[in-house]
Structure 1
Amino acid sequence: LHLQTKNKEVNSVTYVCYICAKDCNDWWNSWERVSNNEDDVATLQKRVSELEKDNAYLKEKADDQENRKSAEGRDMVAFIQRLIPTLLGRENFPTAPMVERAHRTPAHISTPRPGRPRPILVKLLNFQDKVKIMRLARERETLSWEGARISIYPDFSPEVVKRRREFDNVKKKLRVANIKYSLQYPSTLRVIVGGKPKHFRCPKEAEAFFRDTSSLPGQET
């Protein structure tokens, strides 16, 4: 009888331990699910925040493009024909230059900074108009239209653009030193040093030569 009583007590304790172990396991599984859900919620909140930023950027970009379309009108060719005399002087263009076609570059070709419009590609019918436009743009140095800075430059192939951009660092140094320069086609840097023209076809050579630009006086190209 005593042994049977002990067996019942052991069985009872074993059952209680089983229940406790099961409860602990259930609690652990529940805690793990809650933890995973919290991680999922945090991930979703981060994603929602990113999507909200993307949406705000796209809305701003769409508004900007809509505003530009209103300013430029639906006829880009006519807009360019009006813009060139405005920028470079109507006295230089008593008759608007003949534009064969004009359009903004595709988004996958140009990679402008956020908020910066894509460049406009313009093809002129008269080569002499192109020469005149480039000359006047160089002479005026700074061009603006309705408060926005305008840059005019030839349309280069991607390879030429890449080679010209390799001179960006030394060009910054020249600007800081107040030294005028020109970047000739296809990718040659030209400056006047000591009254004589100096040409650099290699960016590294130009960097080495102008390493100490502060000691060089401002020169005219």
Structure 2
Amino acid sequence: MPKSQLKKSNHDKVPGKHAVNNKPLVEESGASGCASFSQRDTKGQREEGNMANLDVILQELREFRQENSEQLRDIREDINKTKNRIDEAEERIAEAEERLESVEGAVSELLKLQTHMEARLTDQEGRSRRDNIRIHGVCEGAEENSPSVIYFVETLLKENLDLPPFSDLKIERAHQALGTKPPADAPPRSIVVKFASHRTKEEIIKTAWQKQGFVYQERKVNLDHDYSPEVLKKRKEYVEAKRVLREKNIRFQTPFPAKLRVFFQDGTRIYGSAEEATKDMAAKGLPVVFKPPETWVERIKRLSWSAVSRGRETETPASRTGFKEKLETFRRSERL
């Protein structure tokens, strides 16, 4: 076969890429164009979706910012209201503390006056009882067979103290001590006797003390002064103090004028008051037997609920820091 025919046949079988009008070449270019168009459409849709999402996000951010602004505005208003209420509370607390300090000062003055009046009242009560004696140990109901208690007491004293039978004891009143009748196994109540003459009363009680009492109906009967309850309490403490010190081989007495003489093992010492003796004995490690009376400051601390609840037992109104000063100190420490 000639070469020209062979080349022609080859060109007919295998379509060349350089043939512009060749049909397969046209079809391939059309497919690639469609693909590029679809890619551009997808990209555009993506961009439109992203823009829509951005708009939604921006809208949500605007709404969130607006909500935050409204909430912050409400918080500022609440803070301002709270600050105003705190300032008002600070002022009222400061005023209350000032009034409390003034009230405590007034109460302290009243307690001073009350202590003074109690001492005066105890003294007046003791003076009103100076003409009285108490007879301890007489059985309950022993005066039932007598015409009166006065007659029973006169007979009792004349017979047991060896007094003249026709002597006038000048008894104004006589009665048993006030109170309910004790049980049969309890000590009987005492009999209070008031004399019209203080001299007669002193003679009778002196005679009874010299005889160290007497026995009536198989019971020991003693006579003593008619002391007030406060004095009886002090006498009880005094007796208890003597008992405790006696166990420590220590004796004491109260010579005239009113001082306290204590006999220690290493010597004797005289104190000006029971409080002085108490402090010295406490320093030596001895038991405290003399209880001094409660002062007005101690009474305020005991009766003041605020002092006890806040632990301010050792704090006095003069050394107390005001509420405003404490608050200002706290704020300065917070700033630092």
TM-score range, shorter chain: 0.3 to 0.5
- Bigger CA radius of gyration: 2
Tell which has more relative contact order, 1 or 2 (C-alpha 8 A, sep 6+).
2
TM-score, structure 1 normalization? 0.46
